Chains A and B, each alone.
Chain A
Amino acid sequence: MHPAAFLLCILLAGAAHVAHAADVSYHREVWPLFKRHCVGCHSAQKSKGALRLDEVAAVQKGGQSGALFVAGKPEASLLIKQVSGEAPEMPIDAPPLPPEKVALLRQWVAQGAPFDAPPASTAPAVVIPAAYPSAPSIASVALSPDGKWVAAACRSEVAFFAVDDNTSAPRRLPTDCDLISHVEFSPDGARLVAAGGTPQRFGAVTFFALPAGRMEHTRRHGRDTFFRGSFAPDGRAIALGGADGAAHIVPVDAAAKIQSIELHSDWVLDVAYTPDGKQLVTGGRDKTAKVSSVETLRLLRMVDQSSDIISSVASDALAAVAGGYARTLTGYDYKVALAGVEVTGSGNGAQPVNRRDQYVRPFEGQPDAVQDLATSGDRKWLAVATRQPEVRIYQTSDRARKTTLSKLSGPVNAVALDLNGTRLAVGGRDGLVQVYEVATGKLLRSLTPVPVTVRP
């Protein structure tokens, strides 16, 4: 090489270095690059290759292929090898990083991969307006066992009121979750639970003492919201479906551990206890309905594989019930479905020994996708909400329809029954909560439980 050319190379390398060296900031440049191109697969939600890039500690730790970088040595760093070269390994299924972005990463590693600041949290704060511009839809509704109290999930808060008291405004119980998807009274009526969380951030359960509405405690769990579930018959825990494919048993006792049963390959949308509290019925986005043991935390049987999502489950004394988007409502006789060999191992996907037609107890076909199921406390009645503006009530002993409340104001999201099925609460997509007397179909109460600005 000509000496002058050599000198020029040094000058250029030096110039580039001087121009950038002090400037590459993890916070301002590297993290946005990770965010744009990498964290879709390498984060808490999906740590592919056991690598996470959403936390500084995790970046420093690396993944299953080892450390991500050797400070000061870009050429020896896995991070640089993965994103550079003729056909870079990463990002997978996406165009290679533009050369200037690779150069930026190289620079950052070359200067020792300093972390000048952790990634700023971008989580938006929970907002509970004093008055809503439009009525929030009712995600879940609950009726106390005596039928006197109603609770409704209104996005981030719970509204709570006495059915027979027309004079006072509903109590508003705020939470720190974006979305509450389940409210329920404990079997003794002494406490109210609100479960949900903030999508893709955390799940949360909050207990309130009644009748004061004082928050007892709240606990967070996992990385996504809880869906729906049910109180154990003894009132000591609530079982909830999770986005991690597990049913979670959350004790009322704040000090006790949460137990989880990993059951499904996708979100568990609903969980129901059998009346004896010994088994759990689950259904979810993987289109299956399953029965598991509370004692062993193991799957007993996959009782059904639907053609579409199972949105809701329930249980009476003799059968599990599942309803879903396939417009079906089906009972599964416990005795026949669970009979036969003991399940060993994880038992995932265990099929009943008996034929399907032997254990299935079908209900009539439903007019639309099933949105919610609710049993009365005595498990003698089952209320069914579909996307249609009506609620059907069945007697569980013979699966015959007893009552239909039709001509509701709009599509129903949620239903609840009291202990013996005398009162029905309905939560609508239009934000309206209504309470009916089941025997007569009489509307006892109809209100939007949170303040709404009246548009001019």
Chain B
Amino acid sequence: MRRILPLLLAPALSMSAQELPELTGNPVAVPAALTLTRIREPRLLVVTGKAASGHDVDLTRATQWASSNPAVARVDALGWVSALTNGQATLTGQAGGKSLRVDVTVQLPPTDPPLSFRHDVMPVLSKGGCNMGACHGYSLGKNGFKLSLRGSDPALDYPAITEDFFERRINRHNPPASLLVQKPLGDLPHEGGVRFDSGSLLHSILAGWIAQGARDDAPTLPTLMGVRIHPMKAVVAPKARQQFQVLARYSDGTERDVTRMAIYEVNTERVARVDDAGLVAAAALGETAVAARYERIFAVATLIVLPADSKFQPAPVPQDNLVDRHVVAKLNDLRIEASPVVDDERFLRRVYVDLIGVQPKPEEVLAFVAEAAADKRAKVVERLMLRAEFVDWWSLRWGDLLQNSRNTTSDPAMYAFREWIRASVASNKPIDQFAREILTARGASGDNPAAAWFAASKDADDSLQRATQVFAGVRMLCAKCHPHPFENWTQADYYGLHSFFNQVSLKADPRLPNVANARSVMVNVDAGFSSNPRTGRAQPPRYLGGAEPPLAASVDRRLDYARWLTAPENPHFARSLANRFWSYFFHRGIIDPVDDLRATNPPINAPLLDALAAELVRSKYDVRQLIRTIVNSRTYQRSTATLPTNAHDDANFSHALPRRLPAEALLDSLVQATGVVENFGGAPTAFTAAQLPDANFNSEFLNLFGKAQRMEACECERDTRSNMLQALDFINGRSILSRVVAGNGRPALLLSQKPDDAALIDQLHLWSLARKPTEAERALAVRFFKEYGDKRAEAAQDLFWGLLNSRDFMLLY
């Protein structure tokens, strides 16, 4: 019976031993040459080759290394090179029938320098998970032992470890007796479980540092300058593995291999998994970021998993439109085909809803389809950008983002700000100027309507968080109380921004006495800098991720911030806005979510985003030019129908994603289709949904379909998802039914012209779905009319009700 087991295990074993595909060209080892300066710091050789199929092949563990001088340096089976004694050695590797060579120099100091608290021990506390938010990194610590969250503050952690409670946690003279060692080993009960094993690297660093006296670092300790990951990009086959390497660079010019101490995460676990040692196992087709964190710095690589053998023929890369150029290039990389471009009717409806927030009328559809001009799609885009509804629609979007609402500002100020936004959109005000005017506004709404933006902020915290989220796509709230968990923002960054905005105060608008929420924005140029609660010291203004500029005394510091933010070279402004505008046309950003930009959330197509941002800067921040570039691309005009190679892709814009119409566009399109207006109590008569100045109109329809309430500066406030209540409202509610049967409703209006069945059916389709029926739909409708006999009005109403309840009305597709 025992013989059965090996038989069962056999297939599993042969699968785990990787078969090497045939390689083209020579494998490459990184680094190409090595200098080792510490016995305790081996370095990893990552070896990659290229398969005939075009895939990258990780040969790190498949390479057989031999050292010309094993007394000086040697390589283990995982590719780690260790130093033994000073000298030179040449490593010769054999992989997949090819050979490669790496020269090693070993230069050890006469005595090994002691382990560093910041550079050796702090990474152990991070790698071991000790300082996670759920453990000792919690704001109150855990079981009386508190560490800074994710190792953000070594100066606080050092005394917590070495001094607290009579030095209870370490014993310099008897390191194995230290709680700091016994607890994570599990030798004493530890609620956080066993964090590392006896003899492991983490254990030896902690115990070694304690044995050396658990000393603090000298103030001259070099600082960590950057972290990089290799390879930056790997294209692999399913089930393949890829070893990553992480290198840390210090202010004294030295570099360390910190692969073993970095913390790894993939952002799409469906595609791949990563282990503690930076070895990634590809699982399914697709793409994922592989993020490595070392101390407080992140490095991100891209892993693309492609089918092992594919008959894919790369598409020619279009050169006439920057969007298509970068999207098709990426799709070729991914071996994905792009879906074809949609027909005229679908294109027209999509571009109408996206640009002016309402679908086209029948005569517009018919005229467009009949038009023969080759550039008719580009022309209609130009015509739409001149429509009044274009101003309505984009002012609505800006009103949401800038939170123009009577929740926070007075009635007159809200209307004045609305008009200011509308005038800016109508005149196509460059977006940099638009942002500067808002971020530097002062006075009352009567002086400067844009001051309503500051008047809506509770305090400088609110202002800085809103400003960074809207105009830089960055969420800073986390960094108010602790270092940002997914980005290198600290409280110094946060309060550096705070100091730009803390001169603003609000007082009642003297010209609007007795008007609720009427405020005037005051700037006290003599206000000091904000205090960083961590250090208790004043934090000078600091640009987001940038320098602390020298500023003259008694100036409005917002002016400097707005100038810096909107400068062409600013890394946040054009990029975040290009990404945000892109999302309005594709259901998702190139970075998504669009207002959570950070190193650990990389763009799905970086060259595309860079090109769009550059285009926005080049055009002097012309938003209409940006829109033009996007909607004139084939990428925008692609069908939602998928092909075998792109069905799994929902991120690379290989096909359109069906999108539900936003609340206002849905209601305005319904009103246009049925001819029955919606009355919004409190708003001027005949205001469309897109024209409403804020969300305080208590419209059940708009609330149901997720209108933004303007309580937050987050794009997420607008809910574009579908749900059961919406379906029930459409089927049973008054929104559609009462309009369809109304005496002034579309069916009645059409019938009054006494059309024949065919014409009536066409018109009903055109008004509801902005397209003519297909042959099958027409045949079905004709049969339907026949069944109703002389009850023609009822037939028209029922058909129209059915069309408005179909997905083709609810969705852009």
Contact = CB atoms under 8 A, between A and B. Distances in A.
B166, B173, B189, most chain A CB atoms within 10 A? B166
Contacts of B169: 199
Interface in B623-640: none
Interface in B164-214: 165-169, 171-174, 176-177, 179, 182-183, 186-194, 213
Contacts of A19: 2, 5
B5 A54 contact: no
B144 interface: yes
A132 B173 contact: yes
A22 to B, nearest CB: 12
A266 B173 contact: no
Contacts of B8: 12
Contacts of A93: 134
Nearest to A266: B144
Interface in B244-300: none
Interface string A25-50: 00000000001110111011110000
B78 to A, nearest CB: 23
Contacts of B5: 15-16, 19
Given A134-B172, A285-B144, A413 B186 contact: no
For the residues of A in contact with B, the DSSP-based class is: loop
A11 B4 contact: yes
B1 interface: yes
B189 A124 contact: no
A155 interface: yes
A126 interface: yes
A122 B182 contact: yes
A355 B184 CA distance: 46
A129 interface: yes
Of residues B144, B168, B187, B189, which shows the largest number of chain A Cβ atoms within 10 Å of its Cβ? Answer: B189
Interface string B354-390: 0000000000000000000000000000000000000
B163 interface: yes
Contact of A40 (B4, B173, B190): B190
Contact of B191 (A14, A46, A127, A133): A46
Contacts of B193: 36-37, 40, 91, 94
Given A45-B189, A46-B189, A179-B168, A35 B1 contact: no
Contact of A35 (B165, B173, B186, B192): B186
A35 B166 contact: no
Interface band, chain A? 35 or more
Nearest to B195: A36
A181 B166 contact: yes
Contacts of A134: 172, 213
A40 B189 contact: yes
Given A37-B193, A267-B144, A18 B171 contact: no
Interface string A225-269: 101000000000000000000000000000000000000001101
Contacts of B173: 127, 129, 132-133, 136, 155-156
B269 to A, nearest CB: 14
A43 B176 contact: no
Interface string A201-226: 10000000000000000000000010
A397 interface: no
B213 A133 contact: yes
A137 interface: yes
Given A11-B1, A14-B1, A35-B186, A40 B174 contact: no
Given A39-B189, A94-B193, A136-B172, A200 B179 contact: yes
A126 B183 CA distance: 17
Interface in A417-451: 429
A205 to B, nearest CB: 16
Contacts of B166: 139-140, 179, 181, 196, 227, 413
A178 interface: yes
Nearest to B176: A124
Contacts of B177: 124, 126-127, 178, 198
Contacts of A266: 144
Contacts of A196: 166
Contacts of A155: 167, 171, 173
Interface string A53-87: 01000000000000000000000000000000000
B190 A18 contact: no
Interface string B144-171: 1000000000000000000101111101
Interface in B1-46: 1-2, 4-5, 8
Contacts of A132: 173
A26 B593 CA distance: 50
B174 A126 contact: yes
A28 to B, nearest CB: 14
Nearest to A52: B189
Contacts of B172: 133-134, 136
Contacts of B186: 35-36, 39
B174 A178 contact: yes
A29 to B, nearest CB: 15
Given A35-B194, A36-B193, A54-B189, A18 B174 contact: no
Nearest to B164: A309
Contacts of A39: 186, 189-190
Nearest to A47: B189
Contacts of B168: 179, 181, 199, 225
Contacts of B191: 40-41, 46
Interface in B491-531: none
A46 B191 CA distance: 9
Contacts of A16: 5
Interface string A94-130: 1000000000000000000000000000101011010
A132 B167 CA distance: 16
Given A12-B4, A132-B173, A178-B174, A139 B167 contact: yes
A8 to B, nearest CB: 9
A129 B2 CA distance: 55
Nearest to B187: A122
B533 to A, nearest CB: 15
Contact of A36 (B144, B179, B183, B194): B194
B206 to A, nearest CB: 14
Nearest to B197: A36
A200 B166 CA distance: 14
B1 A18 contact: yes
B189 A199 contact: no
B271 to A, nearest CB: 20
Interface in B107-141: 134
A199 B145 CA distance: 13
Interface in B423-477: none
A43 B174 contact: no
A63 B194 CA distance: 23
B627 to A, nearest CB: 47
A63 to B, nearest CB: 15
Given A46-B189, A133-B213, A178 B171 contact: yes
B398 to A, nearest CB: 44
Nearest to A40: B191
Interface of B: 1-2, 4-5, 8, 134, 144, 163, 165-169, 171-174, 176-177, 179, 182-183, 186-194, 213
23 contacts: A12-B4, A15-B4, A16-B5, A35-B194, A39-B189, A40-B193, A91-B193, A94-B193, A124-B174, A124-B177, A126-B174, A127-B174, A127-B177, A133-B213, A155-B171, A178-B171, A178-B177, A179-B166, A181-B168, A200-B189, A201-B188, A266-B144, A413-B166
Given A39-B186, A40-B192, 15 more contacts: A12-B4, A14-B1, A15-B2, A15-B4, A36-B193, A37-B193, A40-B189, A40-B191, A41-B191, A124-B174, A124-B176, A133-B213, A179-B168, A181-B165, A196-B166
Interface of A: 11-12, 14-16, 18-19, 35-37, 39-41, 43-46, 54, 91, 93-94, 122, 124, 126-127, 129, 132-134, 136-137, 139-140, 155-156, 178-179, 181, 196, 198-201, 225, 227, 266-267, 269, 285, 413, 429
